[in-house]
């Protein structure tokens, strides 16, 4: 009883210190400073929307009063057939975010380290802290992934290494040799999580070999999502594949009915419409190349588009026009993009590849602002 009196904080539930240290994820904004809706190029969503077949399937998903299939069997079989993976080696998640968190939780905890690159996806920091592990950040190489620096950061207590490839927010990408070298440099008891949220935007000949590695190695987990090229961010569907023992662990701790009825039905139809995926891929490559070419002309004003293999471009601003001024200027013109001071990138703006008209408009606006020098 005296405890209650002597400890002024004992009159309420005490969060674990590692939980209290978490900064909540900051989602891409949808409105301007005065709350008016803006064209959203801040969350890497698909400008083509989603497959018409997926939209129709959502409408016909089935009886809402009944629990969905707890094991998402039809969806795992469809994904397995598409990628040549046994369905028993696929685990579904409420977005890949759930799976990234579960991977950290299953294999790391207090006293352990979780490693990822500087300017990595912000969920990794949350996932590491959520399970009580210590986040360790490896230095970048001109914003990109440096495999040697990543390996040098790994400690004897490192249980999980996260790498998004392509990476968000930088768009950077490392190839098959770098991924193989990273894997070869890790102890077999360290889990390598390769987050392939943007893998479908990469040219097939540039494949990083992560899925093949997940099929053969016991310590590699690959995560994928329906939020990006499939255009189903609102349905919250992700999946992971790796050794059966890894998949088994994640299955034990995921939500038992984690994929809703509409999520399963919609994603299943989306897998069946690879034409939509192909159209999205082509659209992205064409528009990204056009946009980057226009930005390249602004190099003398200090604008530098970083090489991107994803559906967005990170632009570095080192001239008179600052990233913040460009962000506010684009907002005035009706566009919300992603300015990233909270991720240590106040000099950068991330812009999702939108429609041809939007990208033309944005390139013109940046050109005008850069020429005006403010
Ligand atoms: C968008 C994104 C995801 C996907 O998250 P979901 O939870 O599947 O919507 C995962 N990793 C990275 C790097 C991303 O940018």
Q: Locate CATH 3.40.640.10 in the chain.
A: 52-272
Calculate how far, in angstroms, residue 167's C-alpha sits from the geometric centre of ligand 1.
10
Calculate how far, in angstroms, residue 174's C-alpha sits from the geometric centre of ligand 1.
18
The overall average pLDDT reported for the chain is 95
Question: What is the position in ligand 1's atom list of the atom closest to the CA of 226?
Answer: 8
pLDDT category at 26 given cuts 50, 70, 90 is: confident
Of the candidates 204, 206, 138, which has an alpha carbon nearest to the alpha carbon of residue 174? 206
Calculate how far, in angstroms, residue 240's C-alpha sits from the geometric centre of ligand 1.
12
Q: How far apart are CA 113 and CA 19, in angstroms?
A: 15
Pocket of ligand 1 (CB under 6 A): 44, 95-97, 121, 164, 168, 195, 197, 225, 227-228, 233, 238
Whose CA is closest to atom 2 on ligand 1? 197
> The domain 25-48+276-372 is classified under which CATH number: 1.10.10.2840, 3.40.50.1100, 3.90.1150.10, 3.40.50.1950?
3.90.1150.10
Which of 101, 119, 168, 255 for mutating ligand 1's site (highest number of atoms within 8 Å of CB)?
168
Chain segment 224-236, per-residue pLDDT in tens:
999 999 999 999 9
Calculate how far, in angstroms, residue 96's C-alpha sits from the geometric centre of ligand 1.
6
pTM across the whole model: 0.95
Question: What is the position in ligand 1's atom list of the atom closest to the CA of 169?
Answer: 15
List Cβ neighbours of 359 (8 Å cut-off, separation of 6 or more): 287, 290, 291, 353
Whose CA is closest to atom 11 on ligand 1? 197
Question: What is the position in ligand 1's atom list of the atom closest to the CA of 97?
Answer: 7
Q: What is the mean pLDDT of residues 318-337?
A: 97
Question: What is the position in ligand 1's atom list of the atom closest to the CA of 225?
Answer: 8
Whether residue 166 is preceded by a cis peptide bond, meaning omega within 30 degrees of 0, is yes
Chain segment 64-120, per-residue pLDDT in tens:
899 999 999 999 999 999 999 999 999 999 999 999 999 999 999 999 999 999 999
At residue 8, the pLDDT reads 64
Question: What is the position in ligand 1's atom list of the atom closest to the CA of 195?
Answer: 11
Whose CA is closest to atom 14 on ligand 1? 197
At residue 62, the pLDDT reads 86
The proportion of the chain whose per-residue pLDDT surpasses 70, expressed as a percent, equals 97
Angle between helices 323-332 and 356-372 (to 10 degrees): 130
Cβ–Cβ under 8 Å, residues 164 and 238 = no
Number of C-beta neighbours around residue 258 at 10 A: 21
Of the candidates 204, 211, 270, which has an alpha carbon nearest to the alpha carbon of residue 235? 270
223, β-bridge pairs:
195, 240
Q: Locate CATH 3.90.1150.10 in the chain.
A: 25-48+276-372
> The domain 52-272 is classified under which CATH number: 3.40.640.10, 1.10.10.10, 3.30.70.20, 3.20.20.70?
3.40.640.10
Q: How far apart are CA 306 and CA 139, in angstroms?
A: 17
Question: What is the position in ligand 1's atom list of the atom closest to the CA of 164?
Answer: 13
Chain segment 165-189, per-residue pLDDT in tens:
999 999 999 999 999 999 999 999 9
Please name the helix (run of DSSP H) or strand (run of DSSP E) that holds residue 134, with its range, or none: strand 134-138
Cβ–Cβ under 8 Å, residues 210 and 220 = yes
Chain segment 245-256, per-residue pLDDT in tens:
999 999 999 999
Chain segment 311-322, per-residue pLDDT in tens:
999 999 999 999
Q: How far apart are CA 160 and CA 121, in angstroms?
A: 15
Calculate how far, in angstroms, residue 124's C-alpha sits from the geometric centre of ligand 1.
11
List Cβ neighbours of 332 (8 Å cut-off, separation of 6 or more): none
Whose CA is closest to atom 3 on ligand 1? 197
Q: Where are the alpha helices (DSSP H) in the chain?
A: 2-6, 17-20, 52-59, 73-83, 95-107, 123-130, 147-153, 176-184, 210-216, 244-253, 261-272, 274-296, 323-332, 356-372
The proportion of the chain whose per-residue pLDDT surpasses 90, expressed as a percent, equals 90
């Amino acid at each position: 009883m005296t405890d209650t009196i002597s400890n002024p904080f004992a009159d309420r539930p005490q969060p674990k210190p590692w939980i209290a240290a978490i900064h909540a994820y900051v989602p891409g904004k949808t409105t301007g400073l005065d709350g008016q809706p803006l064209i959203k190029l801040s969350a890497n969503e698909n400008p083509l929307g989603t497959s018409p077949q997926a939209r129709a399937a959502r409408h016909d998903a089935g009886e809402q009063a009944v629990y969905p299939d707890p094991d998402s069997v039809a969806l795992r079989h469809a994904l397995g057939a598409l990628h040549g993976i046994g369905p028993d080696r696929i685990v579904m998640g409420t977005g890949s975010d759930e799976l990234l968190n579960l991977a950290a939780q299953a294999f790391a905890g207090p006293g352990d380290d979780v490693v990822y690159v500087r300017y990595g996806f912000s969920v990794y920091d949350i996932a590491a802290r959520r399970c009580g592990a210590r986040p360790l950040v490896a230095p970048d190489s001109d914003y990109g992934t440096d495999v040697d620096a990543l390996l040098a950061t790994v400690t004897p207590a490192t249980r999980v290494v996260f790498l998004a490839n392509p990476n968000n927010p930088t768009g950077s990408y490392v190839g098959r040799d770098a991924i193989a070298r990273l894997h070869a440099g890790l102890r077999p008891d360290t889990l390598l999580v390769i987050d392939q949220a943007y893998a479908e935007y990469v040219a097939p000949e540039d494949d990083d070999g992560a899925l093949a590695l997940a099929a053969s190695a016991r310590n590699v987990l690959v995560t994928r999502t329906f939020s990006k090229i499939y255009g189903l961010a609102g349905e919250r569907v992700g999946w992971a594949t790796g050794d059966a023992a890894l998949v088994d662990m994640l299955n034990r701790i995921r939500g038992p009915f984690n994929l809703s009825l509409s999520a399963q039905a919609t994603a299943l139809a989306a897998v069946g419409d690879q034409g939509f995926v192909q159209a999205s891929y082509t659209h992205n490559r064409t528009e990204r190349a056009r946009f980057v070419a226009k930005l390249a002309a602004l190099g003398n004003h200090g604008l530098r588009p970083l090489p991107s293999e994803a559906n967005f471009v990170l632009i570095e601003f080192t001239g008179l026009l600052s990233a913040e001024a460009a962000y506010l200027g684009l907002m005035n013109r009706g566009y919300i993009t992603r300015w990233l001071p909270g991720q240590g990138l106040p000099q950068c703006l991330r812009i999702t590849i939108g429609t041809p008209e939007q990208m033309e408009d944005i390139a013109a606006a940046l050109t005008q602002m850069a020429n005006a020098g403010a």
